[in-house]
Amino acid sequence: MATYFTIDVPPNQRRNQEQDPNLQTVPDFVGEDPSVLRSQLSGAPLLAHESAANDALTQYRLQALKALGEYSGLRGKEAIDGHDAYRQALQDSRDGVFDQVPGAAQRLLQPHLDRLHHENLHFGMAHRGQQDKEWANKSALDALEANTRDALWRTGDFNLLQKIAEHSDGEWMKIGQREGWSNDLVWRKADQAKGELFGRIILTQLEQGDKAGAQQTWEFSQQHVDPQTITDAMRNRMMPGQRQSY
């Protein structure tokens, strides 16, 4: 006689689902009664091959749940690099449980096993896609911050500032495409980033006593973004009592 299990989502996976909205849709096999085969038997005693098929399906569910829990905890580049290993673990588990049962049990097991296997593969692809997008966005923002630090070391280099401003616009367009943002939102984000860039440079020049350089940067920056956006960025960075006028 087969032993039936009820599988629930472990606490660590529930936490992962809260962190990543993409993980909130867990494959159907989690939480349902694993004996989908039992419904075919109309209450009749299980035959040997039926018991073997049920036991094999339960074994796959448990192994797949372990692989899913481990993979769903990976973030960023780790999730991208770990996707092939996740797929291979599922395939090995699927092949292993299928090969261990006799032919009559295989015929009963295969449609249910393949359905669950494909659900798990789909989940892995969705998780990898989400993490690929987040990693690409983070890499873009890190590159823009590195550009800003370079500009802070080379204040007054307006050729560099021009290139950085153009590169910033391009990166925000890519981020917006990945996130599905509207054009208005993309340009609002891009303008805010440029306002932050110019504002930091102007404040740095003022702190260094270079008022003439700050004025030149202020005039140059207005070619790229609304002055109010720069003023707001500077106001957010200045401590009380450090207000400047231009």
Tens digits of per-residue pLDDT, 143-154?
999 999 999 999
Structural domain contains residue 146: no
Same-domain check for residues 128 and 159: no
| Spatial CA neighbour of 70 closest among 58, 56, 87, 55 | 87
Same-domain check for residues 119 and 210: no
Structural domain contains residue 114: yes
Same-domain check for residues 17 and 92: yes
Q: Is the pLDDT reported for residue 16 higher than 90?
A: no
Of the three residues 132, 166, 199, the one that is the final residue of a domain is: 132
What pLDDT, on the 0 to 100 scale, is given for residue 104? 86
Buried b / exposed e across 202-237, counting CB within 10 Å, b at 16+? bbbbbeeebeebbebbbebbeebbeeebbbebbeee
Structural domain contains residue 192: yes
Structural domain contains residue 199: yes
Please give the DSSP secondary-structure letter assigned to residue 32.
S
Same-domain check for residues 26 and 83: yes
What pLDDT, on the 0 to 100 scale, is given for residue 48? 82
Q: What is the mean pLDDT of the chain?
A: 82
Averaged pLDDT, 51-66? 93
Same-domain check for residues 15 and 121: yes
Same-domain check for residues 160 and 228: yes
CA gap 6, 58 in Å, rounded: 10
Answer whether 83's CB lies under 8 Å from 135's CB.
no
Averaged pLDDT, 75-98? 94
Q: How far apart are the first and last CA of the chain?
A: 84
More confident residue, 151 or 45: 151
What pLDDT, on the 0 to 100 scale, is given for residue 199? 94
Same-domain check for residues 122 and 191: no
- In 3-state terms, what secondary structure has residue 224? coil
Asked whether the whole model's pTM tops 0.85, one would answer no
State which residues form the domain around 208: 154-237
Q: Which residues contact 110 (CB under 8 A, 6 or more apart)?
A: 98
Backbone angles phi, psi at 32, to 5 degrees: -90, 160
Share of the chain above pLDDT 70, in %: 78
Averaged pLDDT, 33-56? 64
Structural domain contains residue 137: no
- How many folded domains does the chain comprise? 2
Same-domain check for residues 27 and 109: yes
Averaged pLDDT, 122-149? 92
What pLDDT, on the 0 to 100 scale, is given for residue 50? 87
Averaged pLDDT, 81-98? 95
Helix then strand then coil, in percent of the chain rounded to 5, is 75, 0, 25
